[in-house]
């Protein structure tokens, strides 16, 4: 897909993870961000980081991502909400970001560090003692089919093993929750919505066949291969 369609694709998504508004508020409550620093590793357009800044005077936010288009969306949102002085977006590799940081977010971005285990290990060295990390990551909620393994790769863990990896890295679990079915369905639907609407409006566009194929494949894979199989957990971790 070209840059225009790629940019359009994510416009209907609030954030790039299966998460309701109410669940996000709960996670921010459990993170208890104060007037210190909060660094978002693999922030995308940093919606959760901006929400944290918006409700916490004195919080200084830094969003780190390698995707310039997402960072530009985050900067524009920060300006619109009067948060530009409070939240900075930096184009950089999260895996080599130096600490110490007081509080961290890493949601759907463990692959930036190589794997779930690598992310938990690295972030345990980057988050300062006494700090907290909101770690959102995929896990196998049911045994994956060969096709699901092909789509998502071999690094995803069942939840007990993910928790073992967190403990081995020195983290204490302060909160655990998981995306529910409606959050997943909404995530998948909003991932497809902008392109599905574009296709209805542009059936004769030369790119229509490619978009139709992508939309069909994504929906088939979701309902056929990973709905109810790939879970997504949110852990508030302390050390």
Ligand X SMILES: C[S@@+](CC[C@H](N)C(=O)[O-])C[C@H]1O[C@@H](n2cnc3c(N)ncnc32)[C@H](O)[C@@H]1O
For ligand X, the closer of residues 17 and 199 by Cβ is: 17
Q: How many residues bind ligand X (CB under 6 A)?
A: 18
Question: Using H for helix, E for strand and C for coil, what is the string for 118-139?
Answer: HHHHHHHHHEEEEEEEEEEEEE
For ligand X, the closer of residues 48 and 124 by Cβ is: 48
Choose which of 18, 33, 42, 104 interacts with ligand X (CB under 6 A): 42
C-alpha Rg value of the chain to the nearest Å? 18
What are the tokens at 233? Answer: 């957990």
Interface with ligand X, residue 94, by CB under 6 A: yes
Give strand ranges (E) for 69-112: 87-91, 101-107
For ligand X, the closer of residues 10 and 195 by Cβ is: 10
Q: Give the residue closest to ligand X by C-beta.
A: 44
Interface with ligand X, residue 27, by CB under 6 A: no
**Smallest distance, Å, CB 208 to ligand X?**
26
Choose which of 25, 29, 80, 93 interacts with ligand X (CB under 6 A): 93
Largest CA distance in the chain: 57
CA–CA separation, 79 vs 205, rounded Å? 34
Helix, strand, or coil (residue 235): strand
Residues 6+ away with beta carbon under 8 Å from 85: none
**Smallest distance, Å, CB 160 to ligand X?**
23
Scanning 77-85, 102-110, 140-148, 172-180 for contacts with ligand X by CB under 6 A, the matching segment is 102-110
Q: Which helix (H) or strand (E) holds 177?
A: strand 172-178
Choose which of 10, 17, 74, 231 interacts with ligand X (CB under 6 A): 17
CA–CA separation, 74 vs 70, rounded Å? 6
Scanning 66-74, 165-173, 176-184, 215-223 for contacts with ligand X by CB under 6 A, the matching segment is 66-74
Binding site for ligand X (CB under 6 A): 15-17, 42-44, 64-67, 70, 93-95, 107-109, 112
């Amino acid at each position: 897909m070209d840059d225009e369609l790629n940019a359009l694709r994510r416009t209907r998504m609030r954030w790039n993870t299966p998460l309701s508004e109410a669940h996000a508020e709960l996670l921010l409550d459990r993170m208890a961000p104060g007037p210190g620093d909060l660094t978002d590793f693999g922030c995308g357009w940093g919606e959760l980081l901006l929400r944290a800044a918006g409700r916490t005077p004195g919080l200084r936010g830094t969003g780190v991502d390698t995707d310039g288009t997402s960072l530009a969306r985050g900067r524009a949102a920060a300006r619109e909400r009067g948060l530009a002085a409070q939240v900075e977006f930096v184009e950089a590799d999260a895996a080599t970001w130096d600490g110490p940081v007081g509080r961290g977010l890493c949601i759907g971005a463990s692959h930036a560090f190589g794997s779930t285990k690598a992310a938990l290990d690295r972030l345990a060295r980057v988050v300062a003692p006494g700090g907290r990390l909101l770690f959102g990551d995929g896990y196998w909620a049911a045994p994956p089919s060969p096709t699901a393994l092909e789509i998502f790769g071999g690094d995803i863990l069942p939840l007990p093993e993910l928790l073992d990896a967190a403990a081995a890295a020195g983290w204490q679990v302060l909160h655990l929750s998981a995306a529910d079915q409606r959050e997943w369905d909404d995530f998948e639907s909003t991932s497809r919505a902008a392109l599905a609407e574009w296709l209805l409006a542009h059936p004769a566009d030369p790119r229509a066949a490619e978009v139709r194929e992508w939309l069909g494949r994504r929906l088939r894979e979701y309902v056929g291969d990973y709905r109810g199989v790939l879970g997504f957990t949110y852990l508030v971790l302390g050390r």
